[in-house]
Amino acid sequence: MSKVWPTSLPDRDWQFKQKESVHDLLSRMTLAEKVGQMTQVEKNSISPEEVTEYAIGSVLSGGGGNPMPNMPQEWADMVHGFKEAARKTRLGIPLIYGVDAIHGHNNVVGATIFPHNIGLGATRDADLVEQIGRITATELVATGVRWTFAPCVAVPHDLRWGRTYEGYSEDTNLVAELGAACVRGLQNTHGAQAVLSCPKHYVGDGATTWGSGRSYDWIIEQWPAADHDWPIDQGISEVDEATLRAKHISPYIAAIEAGAMSIMVSYSSWDGAKLHAHKYLLTDVLKNEIGFHGFLVSDWMAIDQIDPDYYTCVVASINAGLDMIMVPFNFRRCVSTLTQAVENGDVPLERINDAVARILTVKFALGLFDEPSRNEHPISDIGAESHRQVAREAVRKSLVVLKNDDHTLPVPRNMKQILVAGQAADDIGLQCGGWTIEWMGKPGHSTPGTTLLTAIRGVVSPDTTIDYSPDGHFRGADEMAEIGLVVLSESPYAEGTGDRADLTLSAADVALIERVRPHCQQLVVILFSGRPLIITDHLEKFDAFIAAWLPGTEGQGIADVLFGDYPFTGRLAYSWPKRMNQIPLKGMAESGEDPLFPFGFGLA
C-alpha cells in the first residue's frame, strides 16, 4: 500500500481533518470552480486577472517560460502575482505553480545547475540525489514555486532518443532508487516548504521504437532551427505487459512509496492507445491496483494528440483518469469543452469530483492553504555557494574514466604547458545542455557558473602555461606540450529535437582531435554529451578518455578529479556501444559483440 503523504507532513489525525476539509470545500464548489482546478495554463497564455476570473488551479512555466528580465526577483514577483490572483477568487483556493526543475531550478539565470540525470546515474549515490532534491526545492521555494515536473523516471533503451540524458540509467533498479531519492529530497525534508514532485512520463516513455514517432509542424514555427522530425520521442512502446510492469512501471511504485503525489502522463502509446486515453494503465493499474492517491497531470498539449476533435480528446482523457490538463495556449477552449462535456453527461460528475478531491488533497498536504503570502526562503538562496559546492561534488562523482593509459590521469598540476581545445571547454551553455534557461538550452554564457577552462586555470601551478584554442589551431606550437586536452560536446537539445539516427562522432570533432594530437605527448579527451557516442574508431588516439555527461554550472568538479584532488568513482549507468548496430539495447545481444564498455564500467 502506498503512502499518501510525505513522511514529514502531518500525522493521521491531521489527515482525517484534511479529508473533512476537502469534502467540505468540494461541496461548496461550482462546476466552473472545479473545472478551473483541473486546468493548468502556461504563464504566457494567461494573466493574473484571468486566473481570478476562471478560478484557475495551476499555472506553469514551460521550458524557457521566463519573466523578463530573467532574474530570481522577477520570478518571485511573477509567481507571487499569480498566487495572489487565486487568493482573490470566491473560495480562495491556493494556486500551485509548476516548472521543469529537472537539474536545479534550471530556467532561472543564476540558479545552481546540477548534472543531468544521466550523470547522477553514474554517481550511484542516492544520498547525493536526495540532497540535490532538497537544494532544488530550496531554490524553487525562494521564487514561490511549489511544484516541479521531476524526476524523470524513464528507463531509456535507445540512445538515439533525445531524452536519454533525462533518465538516470538503462537499469530499472537504479532508476527506481534514484527517482525515489529525488522525491524524498524535494518533498520530505521541508515540512510546510515541501516542493511537490512529479515523476514522469507515465509510462513507457523510454521504451518507444525508433521510427514510431512523427513530425511536429509547430516546431518549425517556434524553433525554426530545430529538427521537427521526432522519430522516437512520443512514439509507440512495443513491449509486452510483463515487461512494461517489470521495467517501466516499477520506478513509479518506488516513487509513490517515497511520497510522490503527482505524476505526469506520457505522450507515448502502448497497446494501441495513447497513454493520455489509456484507462487501463491510468485508472485500473496506477490508481486502483497500485493505490496512487495523488493526481495525474497531462503533458504539454498532449491530450490534443488523442483525436482531431478536441471534445473527444477532453472526454477520453478525463474519463481515462487524467485529473489536470496542462494547457499551453488556449485555456478558454479547454475550460468550455470540459464544462460542456460534464453538462452533456459525457464526463460523469463523480469523475470531476474525484479529480478535484485529489488535487485539493495534495494542496492541503503541501500546506498551500496556510502558506504565508511571501515564502520564507530568501532570494539569495538561489545559486548559493553552499548549493554550488554540492553541485561540484555531484560533478566529481558523475565523471566516468573509460580509458587511462600510462597513468595519464591524474594530470600533474605543475606541467610546463597544457593545450586546451574545443569550444565546450569554455562554454557554460554547452556544459549544461538542454533544459537550461531555454527549453533546448543554448551555447554561450547563458547563466553564471565556472567553465572547465576557468576551473583549470584556477588549479594549475602558477608556472604552468595554459594555451586555449576553441578550434584547436595552436599556431607556432612547434614544441610538443606535455598534455593536450580536447573537450567535445553535443550541441544542446531537448526532447525529440535530440532524436538522432547516427551517434557517430562528428567530422568536426574528429578534425579537432586530429589537429591537437600532433602537438601533445598525451591526449586527454573529455566528452560533454547526453548519451554515449560512437568513438570506437578514434579511441586509439586518446591516452585518456572521460565521459562527463552534462555536468552543469560547476566545472571545478571536473578539475577536482582531473588533477587528482579527488578520485574518479563514476561508473557507467548505460552500456557504451561499439557500433550503431548495438543500439537499441537489444541490438547489443544480437550483435554478438561486447559493448565498447559494459554497464557499470569505470576506471578508478
- Positions that interact with ligand BGC (CB under 6 A): 62-64, 100, 149, 200, 222, 299-300, 439, 495
CB nearer to ligand BGC: pick between 498 and 552: 498
Of the listed 205, 227, 299, 438, which one is catalytic?
A: 299
Q: Looking at 495, 543, 554, 560, which residue is catalytic?
A: 495
Q: Which three cell numbers stand for residue 114?
A: 546540477
Q: Which is nearer to ligand BGC, 70 or 353 (CB)?
A: 70
Q: How far is the CB of 436 from ligand BGC (least distance, A)?
A: 13
Q: Where are the alpha helices (DSSP H) in 424-551?
A: 428-432, 452-459, 507-516
Asked if 426 contacts 471 with a C-beta cutoff of 8 angstroms, the reply is: no
CA distance 277 to 175: 26
Beta strands 147-148 and 214-215 are unpaired
Torsion of CA 21, 25, 28, 31, to 10 degrees: -150
Which of 217, 212, 240 has the alpha carbon at shortest distance from 227? 217
SS3 33: helix
Of 163 and 500, which has the nearer Cβ to ligand BGC?
163
Q: Which residues of 249-274 are buried (b: 16+ CB within 10 A; e: fewer)?
A: bbbbbbbbebbbbbbbbbbbbbeeeb
> Considering beta carbons, is residue 106 or 375 the nearer one to ligand BGC?
106
Distance of CA 480 to the CA centre of its chain: 42
Please report how close the Cβ of residue 353 comes to ligand BGC at its closest, in angstroms. 27
Tell me how far apart the alpha carbons of residues 138 and 463 are, in angstroms, rounded to a whole number.
41
- For residue 377, what are the contacts with CB-CB under 8 A and spacing of at least 6? 138, 141, 142, 193
Least CB distance to ligand BGC at residue 202 (A)? 11
Choose between 158 and 393: whose C-beta lies nearer to ligand BGC.
158
299 classed as catalytic: yes
CB of 186 to ligand BGC, least distance (A): 15
Q: In angstroms, what is the minimal distance from the CB of 274 to ligand BGC?
A: 14
Q: How far apart are CA 422 and CA 443, in angstroms?
A: 13
Q: Rounded to the nearest whole angstrom, what is the least distance from the CB of residue 111 to ligand BGC in the complex?
A: 16
Nearest residue (beta carbon) to ligand BGC: 62
Phi first, then psi, for residue 301 (nearest 5°) are 55, 20
For ligand BGC, which is the closer residue by CB, 89 or 262? 262
Task: Enumerate the active-site residues.
Answer: 299, 495
